[in-house]
Structure 1
Amino acid sequence: MSTNTDVGDTPLTVLGAGPAGLATGLYARRQGLDVRLFEAADAVGGNARTLQLGPFRYDTGAHRFHDKDEAVTADLKALLGDDLRRVDAPSQICWRGRRIDFPLAPYDLLRKLPLSLLARIAREQLSIPRVSNNADDFEEMALQSYGPTLARLFLLNYTEKLWGTDADQLSPRVAGDRLEGLDLKTFLLEAFGGTKDKARHLDGSFYYPRHGYGQIAEATADALGREHIRTGARITTLSHDGTRIRRVTVNDAEPTGVETVVSTLPLTLVLRLLDPPPPEELQALAQSMRFRHLRLVVLGLDRPRLTPNASLYFPDRSIPFTRLYEPTNRSPDMAPDDQTVVVLERPCHPETEAWTQSDAALRASAVDVLTEQGLIDGADEIVAVDHRAVPFAYPILEVGAEAKAERLTTYLQRFENLHLLGRSAKFTYTHVHNLYARARTLTEELASHPEPVG
């Protein structure tokens, strides 16, 4: 894409070519809008890419597409055709040598927990409210939803590992919709109805592309037109006059005039890029909001399968990894027929030992965990290795983060031509089907009510 500095040449400028940015570009083109996307990385997809490791493919996260918006599902089916497949692959928790279904299901717990624990859990189920709409923090929500024993065994330790923060300091929103739909009737139906009667909230069924989750991003980019996307284009300044964003500067060297801007960049980054800068109070507020980074260890294994699961979770604090996912359980095309690939996630805060640890040390730790868990016999099974850092993987939804994000977004609303879209941009937990739906709504509004050029 050529660079221009004439305001008005391109009605819509999108910052970022992850799922939110690509969806905005796709629906903008369908509305007849001209659009350009700037992406700092050398490829589209953001944190939802699929990468190649020899004959193996793996995603930069344990992604899955949820069929919860009919229009969006229809759009993705049109983009991917027969390559978008429905998958049934449950997730489990590794606990004391046992595999417990997650989200927790009473039928499974009855078969796998010791009688002493079951008796305690059963007593708690009669007294807990199972209504957590008024919970002040995640710990309170988990205790209300599951009771002290289940919550402490399986949810609280894992959540604190994942976010790097005490559970009573985390917002209930970190659960997403994982704890929804749990009432006493549902609990009893699951307990005595068998595995086929598990509630829909278990989410063991989802859509997944044949060649990896990144195929959604690639197909979206193809549909909107690659000529509208510029990669290797890092946004370094957002110049404004107090009411409108006037220019974006790319790679510290290319000021480009803009009309309407949709930013999918992290909310805190947008505040730092503003020129002139925002008030010091807001800068300090933005600096207090944190994102969780990930480090991935990818192992190609000389065996057809490691587990039947979409993901395995590790709540034990002695294990540095929170989750293992096996892409071949989402699509067999992610590896050769007689081999498989697994990815282990280690959440990190920046500038900590976990983030700066060498790849070799992290890989050795991954091999130790798989061996100790009885998943592999040793390093001899490993035929390929890769590592990947995923910065800004999740906004850390601490208690009070929602109010902070609201203050920052309220400030940014003074820029009449700036719109925020996406998980990082809105500092919230959301799914790809939500991002596509919101991108469609936003571009319809922009097409119906063009913003004035000042």
Structure 2
Amino acid sequence: MTDPITVLGAGPAGLAAGFYAQRRDFDVRLYEAADVVGGNARTLQFGPFRYDTGAHRFHDKNPRVTADVRALLGDDDLHRVDAPSQILWRGRRVGFPPAPGDLARALPLRLLARVAFEQLSLRLRPHAPPQHFEQMARRRYGPTLARLFLLDYTEKLWGAPPSRLSPDVAGSRLDGLDLKTFVLEALGADRRTARHLDGSFLYPTRGYGLIAEATADAIGRERIRTGARITQLAHANEGRIRRVEINGAERVPVGPLVSTLPLTRVLRLLEPAPPAAVQSAAQSVRFRHLRLAVLGLPERARVSPNASLYFSQPDVPFTRLYEPKNRSARMAPSGQTVVVMELPCDPGSDPWRMDAGRLRRLARRTLVDHDLIADDETTVFTSHPVPFAYPVLECGTDRKARRLRRYLDRFENLHLLGRSAQFTYTHVHDLYAQARRLMDELASSS
């Protein structure tokens, strides 16, 4: 291939593209708006503590990708973590996913009897395909279990009533909650036979962000330009993106172009702009952001043994808490720990604009109310924004996203890669596999 490959974004997807391009000896250049690589999958230092910008896990689902990542990390090899998660519910802890024993210990007898009756009724009643997520949840769990452990949590996470969300948000995994596994275990399946995506995974010794850093090193830092925000994609209606504009000034001609930028942003950057109908469809597609509340606990060795703790109740604004030390002991000093709490929000909303002091008080109060720390316990605090954390699949959004991708298909040199660019749910092992296939395709077509 004679033309260099241009990659927009140096998060997990962009770095994966650069890595497999470099392995094929392609000339590749990456442009990243931030001052650092890694996107939303970084590991940050906070005093003596380390934490990830999300409750990230590496799943050993693709042997070739796992082997590549192990080779990249070297001494920071992936180690297996077995730390099941729990749901915090009305002062009690319920296993995640809940098994019958968990429910028997947590629920009052009358409520447990109602759940059992609903489960029996559901198994005997045929159903048409669900039209929205709430319908799916109620049909699979019954109204009681769905409301207690799923619907309120889902509305907090996605920022939309479950009746407006597509059944596709369940997928094979709803941010750690697999519907099939939940149902199987609630109906008595052996926990060992059910898939437990949240409790067993691989993790780098010094934090998940080491995958991004090692990948960037393998690409060559000289091929990655940070502080380079893409401000225009010029095409002149010729079926190709001809050049990209960087920071509103510099114009760079491009050949093969891999974009990991959010799908809606790519459409806004096009010059000339797309037709009004395409722009309207793009404006109706949205992403969910996160605020991370990070609390260092210098007087406590550990808060819990769990990978994550989920807040299912609607009056708790946070959706989950994760403790980095339960992934690797090197994430906090001996005798100390750090916890990260996720607060989903929309851009411009009150939680997104909340000042650090108010967020700290809210996070501390949540920990105290759930008996996770003492009221007078010493904490240190920081926060971190995570934009474009999740694409929101409302009913009909998948159709709109397909329409937007079809419009971009007219640009023969443009390739979309990653969760935000494709508006689909993907894990890092998926991104690396997709990037490898893309570079194989480019090699075969050159």
Q: TM-score, normalised by structure 1?
A: 0.93
Of 11, 29, 44, the residue aligned with 1:18 is 11
Q: Distance in 2 between the 1:133 and 1:72 partners?
A: 38
Task: Give, in whole Å, the separation in 1 of the partners of 2:272 and 2:344.
Answer: 34
Correspondence 1:397 to 2:390: no
Q: CA deviation at 1:11?
A: 2.1
- State the partner residue of 1:424: 420
Which of these residues, 109, 121, 125, is aligned with residue 127 of structure 1?
A: 121
5 Å-filtered alignment, 1:129-208, equals 129=123, 134-178=129-173, 179-182=178-181, 187-190=186-189, 193=190, 197=192, 199-208=194-203
Give yes or no for the alignment of 1:309 onto 2:302.
no
For residues 124 and 24 of structure 1, do their structure 2 counterparts lie closer, same or farther at Cα, with a shift above 3 Å needed? same
Residue 202 of structure 1 deviates from its aligned partner by 4.8
Any idea what the Cα deviations from partners look like across 1:400-429, whole Å, max 9, x if unmatched? 110000111000000000000100001111
Q: Secondary structure at the match of 1:126?
A: helix
Deviation at 1:139, TM superposition (A): 1.0
Greater Cα shift, 238-247 or 173-182: 173-182
User: Quick one: distance in 1 between partners of 2:424 and 2:56?
Assistant: 17
Does 2:96 correspond to 1:102?
yes
Q: What whole-Å deviation, never above 9, does each CA across 1:6-59 have from its counterpart, x for those lacking one?
A: xx9742100001111100111111122111110000111100111000110011
Give the whole-Å Cα distance in 2 for the aligned partners of 1:38 and 1:313.
36
1:225-247 CA-partner distances (Å, limit 9, x unpaired): 11111111100000002200000
Query: Hey, what's the Cα distance between the residues in 2 that align with 1:241 and 1:251?
Result: 20
Could you tell me which amino acid in structure 2 is paired with residue 304 of structure 1? Answer: A
Contact 2:198 2:307 in 1 (8 A): no
Structure 1 residue corresponding to 2:325, chosen from 320, 324, 328: 328
Could you tell me which residue of structure 2 aligns to residue 4 of structure 1? none
What SS does the corresponding residue of 1:294 show, helix, strand or coil? strand
SS of the residue corresponding to residue 363 of structure 2 reads: helix
State the distance in 1 between where 2:376 and 2:264 align. Answer: 41
Cα offset, 1:181, TM superposition: 3.7
Alignment match, 1:115: 109
Partners of 2:126 and 2:382 lie apart in 1 by: 43
Residue aligning to 2:440: 444
Query: Does residue 33 in structure 1 map to residue 26 in structure 2?
Result: yes
* 1:291 has 2:287 as partner: yes
Q: Does 1:276 align with 2:272?
A: yes
Corresponding residue to 1:340 among 330, 337, 342: 337
User: Residues 101 and 202 of structure 1: is their aligned pair in 2 closer, same or farther, counting only changes over 3 Å?
Assistant: farther
Given residue 119 of structure 2, which amino acid in structure 1 is its aligned partner?
Answer: Q
Gaps of 5+ in 1: 1-7
How far has the Cα of 1:316 moved from its partner?
1.4
Q: Which residue of 2 aligns with 1:319?
A: 316
Aligned to 1:412: 408
Asked if the contact 1:131/1:145 (under 8 Å) is kept, the reply is: no
The residue that corresponds to 1:66 in the other structure is: 59
Equivalent residue letter for 2:107? L
After the TM superposition, which of the residue ranges 358-367 and 101-110 deviates more from structure 2? 101-110
Q: 1:385 aligns with which of 377, 381, 387?
A: 381
**Structure 2 vs 1, CA of residues 210 and 131 (structure 1 numbering), >3 Å: closer, same or farther?**
farther
Runs of 4+ in 1 over 4 A off after TM superposition: 129-133, 182-189
**Of 349, 352, 357, the match for 2:349:** 352
Q: 1:143 to 1:42 in 2, by over 3 A?
A: same
Counterpart in the other structure of 2:233: 238
Q: What value does the CA root-mean-square deviation take over the aligned residues?
A: 1.9
Instruction: Give the whole-Å Cα distance in 2 for the aligned partners of 1:388 and 1:202.
Output: 25
Structure 2 equivalent of residue 374 of structure 1: 371
8 Å contact from structure 1 (residues 95, 316) kept in 2: yes
Find the aligned partners of 1:186 and 1:92 in 2 and give their Cα distance: 14
Q: Following TM superposition, by how much is the alpha carbon of 1:175 offset from its aligned partner in structure 2, in angstroms?
A: 2.3
Query: Which residue type is aligned with residue 352 of structure 1?
Result: S
**Residue correspondences, number:** 438
2:41 matched to which residue of 1?
48
The secondary structure found in structure 1 opposite 2:210 is helix
Contact conserved, 1:50 with 1:60, CA < 8 A, in 2? Answer: yes
Deviations 1:244-303 (A, max 9, x none): 000001111110000010000000000000001000111111111111111111111021
Farther off after superposition, 8-17 or 236-245: 8-17
Inter-partner Cα distance in structure 1 for 2:308 and 2:228: 34
Distance 1:14 1:184, change over 3 A: closer
In the alignment, is residue 211 of structure 1 matched against residue 201 of structure 2?
no
Q: Secondary structure at the match of 1:244?
A: coil
CA deviations over 1:174-210 (Å, ceiling 9, x no partner): 22323354497665443xx5x5x35124541001111
Amino acid at match of 2:388: F
Query: What residue ranges of structure 2 are gaps of 5+ in the alignment?
Result: none
Q: In the superposition, relative to structure 1, how do residues 53 and 186 fare at CA in structure 2: closer, same or farther (>3 Å)?
A: closer
- Measured after TM superposition, the shift of residue 378 of structure 1 is 2.4
The one-letter amino acid paired with 1:155 is L
Following the alignment from structure 2 to structure 1, what is the Cα–Cα distance between the partners of residues 128 and 73?
A: 38
- 2-structure distance, mates of 1:187, 1:318: 25
